[in-house]
Structure 1
Amino acid sequence: MSGKKIVLLGDQGTDHQGFPPTPVIAGSANVLVDGKPVARVGDPLAPHSKPKHPPHPRAIASGSATVLINGIPAAVTGGAITCGGITIGSGSVVIGDTYMPAPFSGLSPAPLKAQAKGAIVPSTDMEQSRQNANNDVGAQQSRASHTELKTNATGQGEVAQLNAAGRSDDVGDSSGGNEELNAEVTTDDRTQNYGPLKGECCTQPGEQISGTYFFPGAGMDGAYVRPMVKAMRDAGINSAMYVDRDKWSGGTAMDAAVGSVLGRDYDPRFPMLLRVATNQTASQFNLIGYSYGSVVAAQLAAKYARQGTVVDHLVLIGSPISQSFLGMLRDITDIRKVVVIDIDEHGDPIYAGMSVIELFMELPLLASQMPDSEGHFYYAEPAEVGNERRRKLAEELYRVGVR
């Protein structure tokens, strides 16, 4: 049996196309080899750059076919990296690449559920979901400056075109178990924070849920977050609140490097569960995500709706979601409306359905847009002009039915 060395925290990802090698910067918090955390598929490496090319993120893209760490394939020597290059492991453990089943003993082993606090999604237990991936690929959509709204209430899709210019945890398995971990949000707005005051754990896929939950962009801590929710409430979306950054964000760099790249495709192992307030009485269940937050909202929508929870609106703003995942979401009957808002009218190079190659090619432009809240960051402008942009966006969301 051949084998490959396991990759550990600090091991190198090789150079490529003139970009220098960089180390792995995250791994399992409770699985150690040689005293170091074991790296897994999805764990990030330090960004790298070269002259005339600003830093771009890297993450481990492939690993062992036989060994899982916290439900995720272990990283091994020779594994691919998202932007190019391969991983070089130094661990004393060698992982074989051939599965050798043990002889049947006549005994049925008890189910084993490995849980660990990992580095990708902080303060959460990682657990492999029992859901199966839906690999249906939606029809290719043209990259026009418009919002697309898909209605699935009857299973027969209705698509409308909306002008977008100038306006607008906890971990659980599919069987219903839950864990007492980080808090989420409540509707209590006495501090004018619009969330994320601590709430009740936990909703399970298949349950009926209410409320409108906003997932911001990478870092989830921009000055625009509370004004965005305020704009939604002012527009009549009275249940709007933003989610708990401590639960849903690993920090700006990690969200951008790992979440936005790997989360853009459907992940049947997505482990997180949503917490909601017990006093929530809204008539709808809506998930609204901006940039990185859109891929989190999309994963949640798929996880819940595939098991019977009705998602009234899934709103994806400036989303890097893949075409195949977008097509899958549109085909889930219990996601009643998928609303895609591309911001390309304002220069955003990110759009729903783009390829990962396109995403990496646009990173330099994204970096240049951030300081002045241009393009992709159009709705993140903290000043009064940003409030006007958010007001128009919120009014448009209300117009298409979000409550």
Structure 2
Amino acid sequence: MNQSSSNDIIMIGGGVIGLSIAYELACRGKQVRILERGEQVGREASWAGAGILPPAIPDSALDPSEKLRGISHQLHPQWAERLQHETGIDTGFHRCGGIYLARKPGEAASLAGYVSLLNQQGIQASEITKYELLDLEPTLDPDQFHAAYLLPDELTLRNPRHVKALAKACELHGVQIYTECEILDIECINGSITGLQTTSGAVRGGKYCIAAGAWSSTLLKQVIDIPTGIVPIRGQMILVEGPKNLIRHILNEGSRYLVPRADGKILAGSCEEEVGFQKGTTPQMLEQLANFAYSLVPALKEYEITMSWSGLRPGSFDGVPYIGKVPNVDNLFMASGHFRSGIHLSTGTAVIMADLLEGKESEINFEHFRISR
């Protein structure tokens, strides 16, 4: 490669966070290069998720994390429309709504508390009767649930399509994307990054941003010893080939869910496993996910499970992503640790990180997301 430009912004990582920041910067006229260690961009956690976008409102947010979620939620419809217009790719963005279910009294009480908090923030969430549940989702057995709530503003998109659209849009706006480009060394002199040594040659730019998901902490340690607490958390998924409209809403129970697609495919997930950087599925977990799906929607037993996969989410020790400038390094920034919310928070993260990289004021308090917390 051996490219050098003091005006370029170098994104280290081509997942949904890196692609989104690059896209936002390119739309503002900046020169951006993305360095991705994999054969293709966006093929790790960004590709593997279910694409659930829970409702959020920025103006009533109780803390900066919720404000970022609210900003992102408001941006997603705009980005979906813009990406389809620019690339011709339908990302599968859809306002299908979500139904939250509880089968035990304790779970019902916990869910009621969560819904009360949502209502205080102005987010529409209402309890529905068994008859209303059956009307909304005829394949469910309403008698097995102690409580059910409808969140009409829950959205969904298809991760692989969204990532493809972002990559194409980046290229259309002049972003240079280099795949199979692994960082070997980060050169830092007097508190400033002077260049990168990669498997594709030397790379030099003006500013650098680490957005490498679960691998971000390893890269950061090459520059400065700041323990971020970013760890890979494996999630497993299955896909059932169902008929169209077998279910119409996202069905949530605790940390697990069923997500319908317009073509009839239904995703069932997920889990949280600390197994290091070990990807892959296990028979035991796939069986658990299938049993969960069948218990929620018995009609799914009639249809075939055609795919299963896993992804490594970048978890953080406190559930808050790391977003901002890296301390004591003039031109190094970081956006990682979004855990299960990478797709959802990607749009807002892109906007506030682009503001930061341009030296502009942001409506978000970066102290909440600081790298050295």
TM-score scaled to structure 1, two decimals? 0.23
- Higher strand proportion: 2
Structure with the bigger RCO (C-alpha within 8 Å, sep 6+) is: 2
- Higher helix proportion: 2
